[in-house]
Every structure is written in structure tokens, then in C-alpha cells.
Chain A
Amino acid sequence: MAAAPKPDRPDVSRFFVSEEKRAELRKIAREVNARAGIPFDPTITAEQELMRAQGVRPENNGASRELLRMRYGGDYEEE
């Protein structure tokens, strides 16, 4: 999405974080994780089997429901 615009295309670069800024923010994010005791491992990708092995029940939607509680408190009803 953030590629350099072609001459006949609108310049949408203003919507995106620049690569320079992004590199700075990546460094901060690594430091934040390190302070939280999360060892940096650039090879890990999302692995659903890991969650299932933890006994996480997909039908509970535990994470997204928690997020909705954070956003709306008790005001959110599933619709």
C-alpha cells in the first residue's frame, strides 16, 4: 500500500508511516518487549496449534470479547 506513487496515481503516502519512522518504531517495540521480559525471536509466526495446545476454546472468542469489553465496557451487546 505504501509503495511510491506512479505518475497517474494519487499520492497516498501521507496516510502511511514512513520507512524511516517505521524503523525507529520497530526499535522501540523491540525495547518494549524486552522490558516486558519477552525474548526477541524474529523467526516466530502465528501458530494456532500452540493456542489449541493451551486449551484455548475457539468458540469462547476470549480475546476479541475482552477487546470489546475494553472498548465499550458493559455497553456492548453482541448483535
Chain B
Amino acid sequence: MPQLPWDASALVKRFYTETGSDTVNALFTFTPALQMASTYISYAETASILRRRFNRGDITLVAFNAVRNALANEVLHSADVSLMSVDDTAVLAGIALSDAYNINSSDAAILAVFLRYARSLPPTDPACVLVASDQRLLRAAAAEGLTILNPELLAVADVAAFLASLA
């Protein structure tokens, strides 16, 4: 099975119904065989967006409490999601990525970590697939050689075949 690092632009679809949420949910059903990872920055971004939707009145307090708990339970407290460190060297390495692809510094640092990790794996390993819906980030990742998955563009019926194609 491939390894899936998640960006907040896709992770949030697990907790807030959007285009691609069904595909994201289907991916979650493949755990723990499907190895997933994210970062604390992505967790915080997702938590912040859910708060903003509540502050705008788009969801009730009951729903907000539920999705913030679900986010913590499924990302922070779950053994199925590994959390990657974004260290100072990643922040600096990210400058080259933001220079090249016009992405912001925190996304660039996260991408730098994902790239370093993917490049450290033996070439015979299953693919490392960035899951995101941020087009700029996806373009940057693809240009750097990372396999990408935009859940907005993959039908839920095609998830199993997509994963099998990467194994």
C-alpha cells in the first residue's frame, strides 16, 4: 500500500462535507493497511478552519464540538496517522520551494519534509502520495517528483483501483 501524507486542504474534507469528502472517507477505510501521515501544522490549520466555519455561523456549537473532537481523535490520538516533524532545516529548505512555486512558507516547509522523507525511501517502496486539494501545492509537489492525489478529482469508486496501481 502507498503512504499518504495529508495536507490540510484535503484533511479538512474528512471533517467538513465538501467535494471530495466521499473519496477522503474511502481512503480512511483503508487504514491501517494504508499508512497515513500529517503534521501538527496541518492539524492546527484544520482546527482553525473548523473554528472559522463555526464563527461564521455555518455550523452549530454541537457540530463544531463534534468535528473538533473527531479531528483530535482521528489525527492526534489515532495510531493510524503518523505525525511528522517540521524542523528548522525544513523551514529553510522550504524557501527554495516557495521561490520556485509561489507557495507560502509554512506549506513549503511541510512539502520539504514530505520530499525529504519520500526521497529517503528505497525506490522499491510503494509510492508516497501527497493528498491535497490546494492546486499550487499539488503542482509544486508534482514538479518535485512526488505522486499527488486530489480527492476532488478522484471518484470514490476509483479509490481502490488507484491505490492498487501504486502498490
Taking Cβ atoms with an 8 Å cutoff, the residues of B that contact A are 3, 8-10, 12-19, 21-22, 25, 28, 35-37, 40, 43, 45, 48-53, 58-60, 63-74, 76-77, 82-85, 104, 107, 113, 116-117, 120-122, 133-136, 152
Contact = CB atoms under 8 A, between A and B. Distances in A.
A29 B53 CA distance: 20
Nearest to A41: B69
5 contacts: A1-B37, A15-B84, A15-B113, A46-B67, A62-B53
A14 B90 CA distance: 12
Interface of A: 1-2, 9-10, 12, 14-17, 22, 25-26, 29-30, 33, 36, 38-48, 50-54, 56, 58-64, 66-68, 70-72, 76, 78-79
Contacts of B83: 16-17, 22, 25
B18 A46 contact: no
B16 A62 contact: yes
Contact of B19 (A9, A16, A59, A76): A59
A23 B94 CA distance: 28
A44 B77 CA distance: 12
